[in-house]
Homo-oligomer: A and B are copies of this chain.
Amino acid sequence: MSSSHSVWRGLVATVGLVLTAEGLYYLFRYLKWVREQQPRVLFFPAPVTCVRPLLLASPGRCDCPLPHRESALSRMARLLLSARRSIDVCVFTISSLDLSGSVLVAYERGVRVRVITDSDYMALASSQVGTFRKAGIEVRHDQDTNYMHHKFALIDGSILITGSLNWSAQAIFRNKENVIIIKDADIVKAFTEEFERLWNEYDPTKYSFSPQSS
């Protein structure tokens, strides 16, 4: 066997190895993408834990006596905090300091936030809608006696969080509740269109000043 043959065989083997490695890399990335597309579910009540360290501008710790382990609540807070471009919130009751705090932290970091909620429940003392507005976030709401009863949020226009869970401590820590996290493009598109439809319907320039009864 000549030495030029041996060089060629080595070259072919190297190229083959590189192509195989690259193929495996793309296969791995594809399988990871497929796995990420799968919807996930969180069930509540969540154990009472402290999520304050997640909300600090720089990595920090909290010395309060509550446990600091992962929970359905911390997973939901992390998801809101993972937003890079936008958070669209369309939730009936918004009083949880942990979830509204996560949205506020993202907003302060430059994420565009829009909030749609229910006019009756935003008037409750515990509602965080006032805090959102004071921070500069635009909030829109229905103007009738029916309920804007959705409980969904869209992260970066590509992740949908939806379920039975209102954003309240009662719902998070005491009720039986569920939240689905879903990336399916058609479902995300349908909820995005619903959000834009309601955002337009609840435009304050369209208010009639004699509230509708239905």
Asked whether A140 is an interface residue with its Cβ less than 8 Å from the other chain, the reply is: no
Q: Cα distance A34–B106 when bound, in Å?
A: 36
Question: How many of chain A's residues touch chain B, expressed as a range?
Answer: 35 or more
Asked whether A4 is an interface residue with its Cβ less than 8 Å from the other chain, the reply is: no
Judging by beta carbons under 8 Å apart, are A176 and B164 in contact? no
Q: Cα distance A151–B171 when bound, in Å?
A: 13
Judging by beta carbons under 8 Å apart, are A175 and B162 in contact? no
| B residues near A194, Cβ cutoff 8 Å | 43, 178
5 contacts between A and B (CB under 8 A): A39-B186, A147-B171, A149-B164, A149-B165, A180-B180
Contact indicator per residue, chain A 33-47, by CB within 8 Å of chain B (1) or not (0): 000001111010100
Judging by beta carbons under 8 Å apart, are A176 and B147 in contact? yes
CB distance from A134 to the nearest CB of B (A): 26
Contacts A38-B186, A39-B184, A186-B38 known; A150 to B174 CB distance under 8 Å? no
| B residues near A198, Cβ cutoff 8 Å | 176
| B residues near A171, Cβ cutoff 8 Å | 147, 149
CB distance from A140 to the nearest CB of B (A): 12
| B residues near A187, Cβ cutoff 8 Å | 39-41, 180
CB distance from A149 to the nearest CB of B (A): 4
Asked whether A182 is an interface residue with its Cβ less than 8 Å from the other chain, the reply is: yes
Most buried by B among A152, A175, A176: A176
| B residues near A88, Cβ cutoff 8 Å | none
Which 8 pairs show the lowest CB-CB distances between chains A and B?
A: A146-B174, A149-B175, A147-B175, A41-B190, A148-B176, A149-B164, A149-B177, A151-B164
